[in-house]
């Protein structure tokens, strides 16, 4: 979608925008389902990058200590618990600038992925920058989706991160697509961006070819010790508008109402679902930050007559040999 089209939609009265988004949503997602994804930080803290929102950067004193890569057994325990709780997608995050083929840590992660992919959940990882070889190996090990956010507009990106570029992010996304993994790519609201930056972000996301399979919309969770600890809070109506614009501009994507739900009322979340959100992070922890309690989310879904989406209902299953379950 062009910037001009996004701009025209963004100027619609609130309820007109919501109606359009709802119509698009119902055409493409008639089932009243929400995908439940569980996150696990398999390597926490000590990251070389300086993303100014992130509690895991080694450059800031945030109280998040650098840990080693989690053991296969510990990851599997968490993955099994997520499945037992009703999650259909398991997303593992690592606080790394990126990964390199042949390194011990990358081989260890591949082993972890082979184990987790045998559990028959969608497997998503977010490990930072990738080259073509690394992307191919992840795909072969059983990764179905790779999360790598552009976070904001290209114009604002340099104000938020200096240790890698917006272009680096796009290159990784290209390798992910070429390897045949689904792209999970979105951003954060509340990084001191202008309304125009949000639209530019959506312009770039919606012009990826193919469009992302899923689009996480995070609201900044201000982390003490980071440069953005005192950032202005995001108005929930702005979030709802952003979800509506994401739905209209990327009709087939799962739009994930991501970080920041702990501060959203159930009514605001209901409007997000109405406007087109159809995926959430589920489970009491994100990577380092809090997420709503499982019971609270299940109650919310029940109150709204929404049901959990089955795994692989709109993405192909990796082939058995690739997933190591032949
Ligand atoms: N290191 C990898 C990377 O940068 O892609 C993976 C992990 S990183 C923590 C994943 C995403 O989490 C970021 O791109 C950002 O969108 C989101 N995120 C991190 N800290 C956040 C915060 N404080 N509030 C909201 N979203 C956040
Ligand atoms: C995404 O877009 N949001 C998730 C996931 N992808 C990896 C991460 C949210 C992190 C929130 C802050 C924290 O837990 O430290
Ligand atoms: Fe590192 Fe990712 Fe956090 Fe940036 S967002 S500091 S790359 S963990």
The question of whether 256 is a catalytic residue gets the answer yes
Ligand 2 center to 218 CA (angstroms)? 7
Residue 311 lies in a domain: no
C-alpha of 77 from chain center: 22
pLDDT of residue 315: 73
Q: Total domain count for the chain?
A: 1
The question of whether 51 is a catalytic residue gets the answer yes
CATH code at 152?
3.20.20.70
**Ligand nearest to the CA of residue 51, numbered in listed order:** 3
Token pair for 289: 């930050």
pTM of the shown model: 0.95
Q: Which residues of 14-33 are buried (b: 16+ CB within 10 A; e: fewer)?
A: eeebbebbbebbeeebeeeb
Nearest alpha carbon, ligand 1 atom 6 = 126
Per-residue pLDDT, averaged over 44-62, amounts to: 98
Residue 142 lies in a domain: yes
Per-residue pLDDT, averaged over 52-64, amounts to: 97
Nearest of 124, 142, 139 to residue 87 by alpha carbon? 124
- What is the percentage of the chain residues whose pLDDT exceeds 90? 93
pLDDT of residue 217: 98
Domain membership of residue 61 as a residue range: 3-305
- Is 271 a residue whose pLDDT tops 80? yes
- Measured in degrees and rounded to the nearest 5, phi and psi for residue 216 equal -75, 130
Q: Is the CB of 95 under 6 A from ligand 3?
A: yes
Residue 320 lies in a domain: no
In the set 37, 47, 185, 272, the catalytic residue is 47
The question of whether 124 is a catalytic residue gets the answer yes
Residue 82 lies in a domain: yes
- Is 325 a residue whose pLDDT tops 60? no
What CA–CA distance (Å, rounded) separates 104 from 285? 27
The question of whether 272 is a catalytic residue gets the answer no
Residue 131 lies in a domain: yes
Residue 281 lies in a domain: yes
Pocket test for ligand 3, best of 43, 56, 288 (most atoms within 8 A of CB): 56
Task: Tell me the per-residue pLDDT of 201-230, one tens digit each, with 9 for 90 and over.
Answer: 999 999 999 999 999 999 999 999 999 999
pLDDT of residue 23: 98
Q: Determine if residue 40 is left, alpha or beta; phi over 0 gives left, psi from -120 to 50 gives alpha, anything else beta.
A: beta
Task: Tell me the per-residue pLDDT of 309-320, one tens digit each, with 9 for 90 and over.
Answer: 876 677 777 654
Q: Is the CB of 75 under 6 A from ligand 3?
A: no
Q: Is residue 42 classed exposed, middle or buried when 0-12, 13-18 and 19+ CB atoms within 10 A define those classes?
A: buried
- Is 321 a residue whose pLDDT tops 70? no
What CA–CA distance (Å, rounded) separates 90 from 104? 23
Run of H or E including 215: strand 214-219
Pocket test for ligand 2, best of 37, 228, 287, 291 (most atoms within 8 A of CB): 287
Cα within 13 Å of Cα(247), Cβ side? 30
Residue 323 lies in a domain: no
Residue 294 lies in a domain: yes
pLDDT of residue 306: 97
């Amino acid at each position: 979608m062009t910037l001009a089209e996004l701009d025209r939609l963004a100027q619609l009265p609130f309820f007109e925008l919501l109606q359009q988004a709802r119509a698009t949503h119902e055409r493409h997602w008639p089932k009243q389902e929400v995908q439940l994804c569980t996150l696990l930080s398999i390597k926490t803290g000590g990251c070389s990058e300086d993303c100014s929102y992130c509690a895991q950067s080694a450059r800031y004193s945030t109280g998040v200590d650098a840990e080693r890569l989690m053991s296969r057994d510990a990851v599997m325990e968490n993955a099994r618990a997520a499945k037992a709780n009703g999650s259909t997608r398991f997303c593992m995050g690592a606080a790394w600038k990126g990964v390199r083929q042949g390194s011990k840590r990358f081989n260890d992660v591949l082993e972890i992925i082979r184990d987790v992919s045998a559990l028959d959940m969608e497997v998503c990882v977010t490990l930072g920058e990738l080259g073509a070889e690394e992307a191919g190996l992840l795909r072969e090990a059983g990764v179905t989706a790779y999360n790598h956010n552009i976070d904001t507009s290209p114009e604002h990106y340099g104000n938020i991160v200096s240790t890698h570029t917006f272009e680096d992010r796009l290159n990784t996304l290209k390798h992910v697509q070429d390897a045949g993994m689904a792209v999970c790519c979105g951003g954060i609201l509340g990084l001191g961006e202008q309304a125009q930056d949000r639209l530019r972000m959506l312009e770039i996301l919606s012009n990826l070819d193919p469009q992302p399979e899923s689009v996480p919309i995070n609201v900044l969770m201000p982390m003490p010790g980071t440069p953005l600890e005192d950032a202005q809070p995001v108005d929930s109506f702005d979030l709802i508008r952003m979800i509506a614009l994401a739905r209209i501009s990327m009709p087939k994507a799962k739009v994930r109402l991501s970080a920041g739900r702990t501060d959203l009322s159930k009514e605001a979340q209901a409007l997000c679902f109405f406007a087109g959100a159809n995926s959430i992070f589920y489970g009491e922890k994100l990577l380092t930050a809090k997420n709503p309690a499982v019971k609270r989310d299940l109650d919310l879904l029940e109150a709204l007559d929404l049901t959990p989406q089955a795994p692989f209902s709109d993405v192909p299953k990796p082939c058995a040999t690739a997933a190591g379950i032949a």
